[in-house]
Structure 1
Amino acid sequence: MISRRGFLAGAGAAALLVAIPVPAVGQSAQSAQSAEFTPSVFVRIGADGRIEVTVPRPDTGQGVRTVALLLVAEELSVAPEHLVVHQAPGDTARYGSQLVAGSQSVQLLIGPLRTAGATARCLLLTAAARRWQVPVAQCRARDGYVWHDQHGRLSYAELVADAAAIDPATVPVTLTPRAEWRFLGKEATRIDAADIVTGRARFGIDVREPGTRFAVVRRAEWIGATVATVDDTAARAVPGVLDVIRLDPAAGTQGGVAVIADSTAAALAGREALVVGWTGGSPQADSRAWLAGLASAVPAPPRAPGPVGLDLTYHLPLLAHAPMEPLNATAHLPGDGTLTIHAPTQDPGGMRDQLAQLLKLDRAAVTVHATLAGGAFGRRFELDFVLEAVACSRVTGKPVKLLWTRDDDTQHDSYRPMSVHRLTAVLARDGVPRWRSHGVATWPLTTAPFSNNPELVLLSGDQFPYRVPGKPSVVLKPSPLRTGFWRSVYAGPFVFAEECFLSAAGHRAGLDQVELRRRLLPSDSRLRRVLDAAASQAPPPAGVVRGVACHLDYGSAIAVLADVRDLGGTPVVSRVTAAVDVGIALHPSGVRAQVEGGVMDAVSTVFGAQITVRDGRVVQSSFRDYAWARIDRAPEIDVVIVDSGEAPGGLGELAYPPASAAIASAVAALTGVPVHGMPVTAETG
């Protein structure tokens, strides 16, 4: 039976290539016998004029491939729709770090990709100048041709062989000045938008190699449990079930029992038929008790330089990643010393290196193909789901696609840690804080052992930008379950607590929230400029309360104004205005999309989304009870881009922390109920 996606996509989609089907530019009949021109690992121009761009970092929904294409298109002076983009396989030796994390993807691609495109352009210009015997300065590149006022034009295709013969070290490379940009900084549709909405785009969940088997895992019944006994008689009797294996937690998986079948449906039916006994772990675990334990561990405030005028505590819950595409990976370990992986991953190069080391394989024998990912948010940095697929392929010798169900994703995630924050302040007579303390109790990230260090938690979380002296302190308690990177990591909880606290101080003193922050920010700061830009928008209408929050991180600055109104006794966010300074906005529509995503995450977590644990089990199992915002809760979102001319900064994690604080503070001002944490509509934990 053909699937909906198969019907839309049709047959014969290339496994590793996401391309824009347009003719090559500057094509010429004379170029048919020319050599290809590959001035770097990122850019190739074929004998037919076809320009190909290899993007080293994967696209997990943030649009990095679109920006990469714009960077090269600008330097080659060729419209982006005439370029073809390839996703690079995992290979750190060839491409350097391929990690997508810390809102750094675009920042780290700008230099290499612009230089690659500029090198190609300068070599083509030099080749044309030598053929015409004119100075290079008299030549110009545009739309796939090199032009000269007297000699006319030569296509890139005609110049490929000559350019390839030039030593790049002998040619000065100049970047295109910003004043001459044609594509960067302009509105541009994502290169894969049409393929995504029509089903042609190939995500990890769409991979199906010849001879593929399918697998799902019966996972622990409670937190930390391991398999004691397995009766797989009934499971093996299910038509289509091929094998049942135990997964070893010591091998990097989360453990459990995998069912391998000739279809996902058969694997799921086999999983239901398993009889598994479990042992160990924490069958009585309760997230309310964990939160109480953190509350009792919050460090006491240091001696204040005056009477403490405000003392508030905030409780923040566990959060699951909940990417729209559940975890999956396809692995092929045929037993000949090779391994092939197709997976939506945030680090294909790192995955390749780690798999080679863990499985004692030659790195050259390991191939990792990074597919498109339907969201990541820090979860696809990990290897557990890939190692599950590898374990199943080891047994079968065939390609095995391992799929997590939505319930698996929700109940066996690497969660954002719970945290408790106590903030105190000495207030001036006008109510403005003049000293503050911030004590935090939280957990390290179990998937990143290096995070078991309070100083690293502070490095991630403490981005307090205001002129109020005081230093936060952190106590780390052992994590009782699996925790990992979640969008904005520790900055999310820190900024939420600090901005809600500042808003509470302003509310108590009757101060305007924007003016309060203006007084605490240097007049020439980037934050002050985005705050002014946000505040210059229309004032809130009658009956609407506005919350304010700011954030400076990743080389970028943002101010968020959230308007909340009462709708039949329920607070709803009607509008969010975010002014953002990412330095130079290379892809403005991408900037807006990232901010909008962060705002929707904030709406979701402020109004109910949390993970709770009762009797050792995660209560939530899907979007039906992990209350991510539906479309009817989506506010109008206005993104104001402030161009500071600074170097481009990071963005993917920037909007969530201040958006959550601005929304929560507005709800508090509307309802008169102080913020005590998230969600504001239910008990935390």
Structure 2
Amino acid sequence: MISRRTLLRGAGAGALVVAVPVPALAAEGLVPNVFVRLDGAGRITATAPRPETGQGVRTVVALMVAEELAVEAGDITLEQAPGDTERFGSQTINNSTSVRQLATPIRTAAATARCLLVTAAAQRWRVPVSECTAKDGAVCHPRRGRLPYRALVRGAAALDPATVPVELTPPEKWRLLGRTRGGRVDARDAVTGRTRYGIDSRPPGGMVAVVARPPWIGAVPDTIDDTATRAMPGVVDVLTLTAPAEGQGGVAVIARSTHQALRGRDALRITWRGGTPAADSRAWLADLHSALPAQSPITGLQRVYQMPLLAHAPMEPMNATAHVRPDGVTIWAPTQDPGGLRTQLARQLGLPTTAVRVETAASGGAFGRRVEPDPVLEAVACSRRAGAPVQVLWTRADDMRHDSYRPMSVHRMSAEIGADGLPVRRAHEVVTWPLTVLPIFNNPALIKASGDHFPYTVPGDVTVTVRPAPLRTGFWRSVYSGQFLYAEENFLSEIGTRAGLDQVALRRKLLPAGSRLHKVLDTVAGRAGWTRPPAPGTSRGVACLEEYGSAIAVIAIAEPGSRRVLRVHAAVDVGVALHPSGVRAQVEGCVADALSTVLGAQITVREGHVAESSFGDYRWARIDQTPDIDVTIVPSNAPLGGLGELPYPPAASAIAAALAGDTPVTGMPFGTDVG
């Protein structure tokens, strides 16, 4: 929580901060802080400090500002903040924190503007502020009438925000927040092609670069014959990129157009050396299995689960545009961390942060991948060489074969079962890889803290063994939690099936008293008609998770014989659902990811390279495989929680259990060899 006074005076780089205005700003309009401003005509502009990667953060910002300024969301003009942690605080999209961390600062910023306008009106009318209200872009008084914001901007700008009491609009008076009506404010632009994504960034005089990347993991160029490439029309230059300072490494071809750059890359003749040309993910999986302790600490029921490599595979492949000049650099990129990227570039290039500008583009998906800077570093190297703006484009195959993958892992679950069929003691032994993009994840305790969210009152322990990662690994939606919970919930389902126990009743009995999961579990069971027997030929799976300050329960209904998922029901408690439509969309997106990874999507490595190159062989679920998805938002008095990653782990677990029926699940993808 951040106080209004802290908000106004600034709280350092780790918090969201705003600037205090002075009366001189009245000529520009009302600018009480960096998030909200009104021009002389009363038009409202809001600044979204964090990137839009598909999670709907811009919509929630618009709704919060509109709510506090008593206007409609369509009356708000949205701007995207550039990378600048000194002005905007942390701008990182990760760990499902964006709405949680933005809610109080953005609402307070807009409420400050409203209270300044109301105070200016009260002073003009010479009436108590308490008699004035804001409504429909104006301040109203029962006897004095109505003054539109445009008539109050100058007077409001002359006030010191620190001297004006500010109250947030209470939830019982909300018109927009928490209401079911209204979709995303940028939906029309997205579907009509008006949204400018990173891949659309083409500054005047810009060029395009593509990179010839290693044909096997870890290789570097040995000899390069670029004679034919340099002779081709439109090719400007060829340069060798050195990892990690210039991205992942390789040979870049800079040209006047994308087509010319791609043709130039095809004409390169490169020999490669080093790396692991014989690497095979099946051998990696065997290595993980061999690292399990020789004996489990518990004698009883045991099951080993294995999880594959997964690619992020956003719809918009990796890209970045850079313009390096003698006095600084400008970046146009779909990034999850514009402020952190700016700081990193300034340090790496030896520039003051004021000489680095990061323009944050909309992103066609991220899922953890765009927190990494490697496409930007490639663009910077190419622009520095070309002396002009250069956009680095990754093809779909580049994106699929040179990702930072979700790590493989192996999980041995063991349980001592009581006479009533319930588990009385458990052990969860994990062997996995660290996240190479963040070296601190070599720490088993950190991996355990990230992944272990077992919600049930079964005593036991989780142990983590970390093996060296043989390729790049990184954050993937839900990070380690998606793997830990998949093993835990499917193991619990097997325990229940063996004992003939009702899966919902089993979980209710094992949840601690007062758990938020009781309510969401009961709600989803009611929505799914759990008390009725399943239809002939169908089976059901259930899973729960409490994480990111939120709670969710999921029930999936499937036809095991046809491997078809018919329906997925979810009940979610996020505290206050500021944008219910956005909540449902996030759950639906996670269900789609869960369905895809359970049904077969995985990354395999053969002869040193990733075998998959597109959605033709990285089998993401198709429309005709998509189940009906029912999402219930459970009312709650809990603090605002996060959601972007929460539904994936229980959705994957419930879908796998439903597809398995009475057959034990042994890993992901369900019923498919891993690796």
Say whether the fold is shared (TM-score over 0.5).
yes
Find the counterpart in structure 2 of residue 24 from structure 1: none
Per the alignment, do residues 301 and 43 of structure 1 end up closer, same or farther by CA in structure 2, a change over 3 Å counting?
farther
SS at match of 1:251: coil
Letter matched to residue 572 of structure 2: V
Q: How many angstroms apart in 2 are the aligned matches of 1:579 and 1:370?
A: 34
Q: How many angstroms apart in 2 are the aligned matches of 1:165 and 1:623?
A: 57
Letter matched to residue 101 of structure 2: L
Tell whether the 8 Å contact from 1:243 to 1:261 is kept in structure 2 after alignment.
Answer: yes
Find the counterpart in structure 2 of residue 12 from structure 1: none
SS at match of 2:314: coil
Q: How many angstroms apart in 1 are the aligned matches of 2:255 and 2:61?
A: 40
Letter matched to residue 240 of structure 2: R
Shift in Å, 1:298: 2.2
Note the 1:286-297 alignment, pairs <5 A.
Answer: 286-297=280-291
Shift in Å, 1:132: 1.0
Note the 1:526-675 alignment, pairs <5 A.
Answer: 526-537=516-527, 538-539=529-530, 540-566=534-560, 569-669=561-661, 672-675=662-665
Per the alignment, do residues 666 and 365 of structure 1 end up closer, same or farther by CA in structure 2, a change over 3 Å counting?
same
Q: How many angstroms apart in 2 are the aligned matches of 1:359 and 1:182?
A: 48
Note the 1:227-242 alignment, pairs <5 A.
Answer: 227-242=221-236
SS at match of 1:249: coil
Find the counterpart in structure 2 of residue 142 from structure 1: 135
Shift in Å, 1:299: 3.7
Find the counterpart in structure 2 of residue 26 from structure 1: none
Letter matched to residue 315 of structure 1: Q
Q: Does 1:162 align with 2:123?
A: no
Q: Deviations over 1:146-174 (max 9, x none)?
A: 11111111111111111111111111111
Q: Does 1:51 align with 2:41?
A: no
Tell whether the 8 Å contact from 2:91 to 2:338 is kept in structure 1 after alignment.
Answer: yes
Q: 2:123 aligns with which of 104, 118, 130?
A: 130
Shift in Å, 1:402: 0.7
Q: Does 1:257 align with 2:264?
A: no
Letter matched to residue 535 of structure 1: A
Letter matched to residue 284 of structure 2: W
Shift in Å, 1:524: 2.5
Shift in Å, 1:250: 3.8
Q: How many angstroms apart in 1 are the aligned matches of 2:111 and 2:540?
A: 47
Q: How many angstroms apart in 2 are the aligned matches of 1:124 and 1:542?
A: 64
Letter matched to residue 92 of structure 1: T
Per the alignment, do residues 176 and 519 of structure 1 end up closer, same or farther by CA in structure 2, a change over 3 Å counting?
same
Tell whether the 8 Å contact from 2:229 to 2:267 is kept in structure 1 after alignment.
Answer: yes
Q: 1:204 aligns with which of 198, 209, 225?
A: 198
Q: 1:492 aligns with which of 448, 472, 482?
A: 482
Q: Deviations over 1:109-166 (max 9, x none)?
A: 0011010011111111111111111111111011111111111111111111111111
Tell whether the 8 Å contact from 1:34 to 1:160 is kept in structure 2 after alignment.
Answer: no
Tell whether the 8 Å contact from 1:299 to 1:475 is kept in structure 2 after alignment.
Answer: no
Q: How many angstroms apart in 2 are the aligned matches of 1:352 and 1:489?
A: 25
Letter matched to residue 639 of structure 1: V
Shift in Å, 1:49: 0.6
Letter matched to residue 512 of structure 2: P
Q: Does 1:60 align with 2:53?
A: yes
Per the alignment, do residues 333 and 209 of structure 1 end up closer, same or farther by CA in structure 2, a change over 3 Å counting?
same
Higher mean C-alpha displacement, 523-532 vs 632-641: 523-532
Tell whether the 8 Å contact from 2:246 to 2:381 is kept in structure 1 after alignment.
Answer: no
Q: Deviations over 1:494-546 (max 9, x none)?
A: 01010011101001111111110000113422111000000002344332100
Q: How many angstroms apart in 2 are the aligned matches of 1:64 and 1:202?
A: 16
Tell whether the 8 Å contact from 1:299 to 1:440 is kept in structure 2 after alignment.
Answer: no
SS at match of 1:313: strand
Find the counterpart in structure 2 of residue 517 from structure 1: 507
Tell whether the 8 Å contact from 1:299 to 1:474 is kept in structure 2 after alignment.
Answer: no
Find the counterpart in structure 2 of residue 194 from structure 1: 188
Identity of paired residues, percent?
Answer: 61
Q: How many angstroms apart in 1 are the aligned matches of 2:114 and 2:294?
A: 61
Q: 1:222 aligns with which of 216, 221, 225?
A: 216
Q: How many angstroms apart in 2 are the aligned matches of 1:171 and 1:597?
A: 43
Find the counterpart in structure 2 of residue 279 from structure 1: 273
Q: How many angstroms apart in 2 are the aligned matches of 1:637 and 1:191?
A: 23
Q: 1:365 aligns with which of 333, 348, 355?
A: 355
Q: How many angstroms apart in 1 are the aligned matches of 2:375 and 2:395?
A: 12
Find the counterpart in structure 2 of residue 104 from structure 1: 97
SS at match of 1:548: strand
Note the 1:15-34 alignment, pairs <5 A.
Answer: none
Shift in Å, 1:416: 0.3
> Considering only aligned residues, what root-mean-square deviation do their CA atoms show, in Å?
1.1
Q: How many angstroms apart in 2 are the aligned matches of 1:517 and 1:301?
A: 28
Tell whether the 8 Å contact from 2:307 to 2:410 is kept in structure 1 after alignment.
Answer: yes
Shift in Å, 1:189: 1.4
Letter matched to residue 270 of structure 1: G
Q: Deviations over 1:186-224 (max 9, x none)?
A: 122101101111101100111111011001000001001
Tell whether the 8 Å contact from 1:34 to 1:158 is kept in structure 2 after alignment.
Answer: no
Q: Deviations over 1:320-349 (max 9, x none)?
A: 000000000110012x12100000000001
Q: How many angstroms apart in 1 are the aligned matches of 2:411 and 2:488?
A: 9
Q: 2:317 aligns with which of 326, 343, 355?
A: 326
SS at match of 1:579: strand
**Structure 2: runs of 5+ lacking an equivalent:** 1-25
Per the alignment, do residues 536 and 250 of structure 1 end up closer, same or farther by CA in structure 2, a change over 3 Å counting?
closer
Shift in Å, 1:557: 0.5
Q: State how many pairs are aligned.
A: 645
Shift in Å, 1:303: 3.8
SS at match of 1:333: strand
Shift in Å, 1:300: 5.4
Tell whether the 8 Å contact from 1:300 to 1:439 is kept in structure 2 after alignment.
Answer: no
Q: Deviations over 1:345-404 (max 9, x none)?
A: 000010000001011112101000011000000000001111001110001111101100
Q: How many angstroms apart in 2 are the aligned matches of 1:256 and 1:522?
A: 53
Q: 2:304 aligns with which of 313, 322, 336?
A: 313
Higher mean C-alpha displacement, 349-358 vs 249-258: 249-258
Letter matched to residue 257 of structure 2: S
Tell whether the 8 Å contact from 2:306 to 2:409 is kept in structure 1 after alignment.
Answer: yes
Q: How many angstroms apart in 2 are the aligned matches of 1:435 and 1:114?
A: 47
Letter matched to residue 444 of structure 1: P
Runs of 4+ residues over 6 Å off in structure 1? none
Q: How many angstroms apart in 1 are the aligned matches of 2:122 and 2:550?
A: 42
Q: Deviations over 1:611-668 (max 9, x none)?
A: 0001101010000000000101100000011011212110000111011111111111
- What is the TM-score when the length of structure 2 is the normalising length? 0.94
Q: How many angstroms apart in 2 are the aligned matches of 1:252 and 1:515?
A: 55
SS at match of 1:471: strand
Tell whether the 8 Å contact from 1:314 to 1:676 is kept in structure 2 after alignment.
Answer: yes
Find the counterpart in structure 2 of residue 434 from structure 1: 424
Tell whether the 8 Å contact from 2:178 to 2:578 is kept in structure 1 after alignment.
Answer: yes
Letter matched to residue 73 of structure 1: A
Note the 1:392-471 alignment, pairs <5 A.
Answer: 392-471=382-461
Q: How many angstroms apart in 2 are the aligned matches of 1:268 and 1:160?
A: 53
Tell whether the 8 Å contact from 2:296 to 2:414 is kept in structure 1 after alignment.
Answer: no
Q: How many angstroms apart in 2 are the aligned matches of 1:610 and 1:264?
A: 29
Tell whether the 8 Å contact from 2:297 to 2:427 is kept in structure 1 after alignment.
Answer: no
Shift in Å, 1:252: 4.2
Tell whether the 8 Å contact from 1:332 to 1:399 is kept in structure 2 after alignment.
Answer: yes
Q: Deviations over 1:578-634 (max 9, x none)?
A: 111111110011001000000010110001100000110101000000000010110
Tell whether the 8 Å contact from 2:320 to 2:333 is kept in structure 1 after alignment.
Answer: yes
SS at match of 1:112: helix
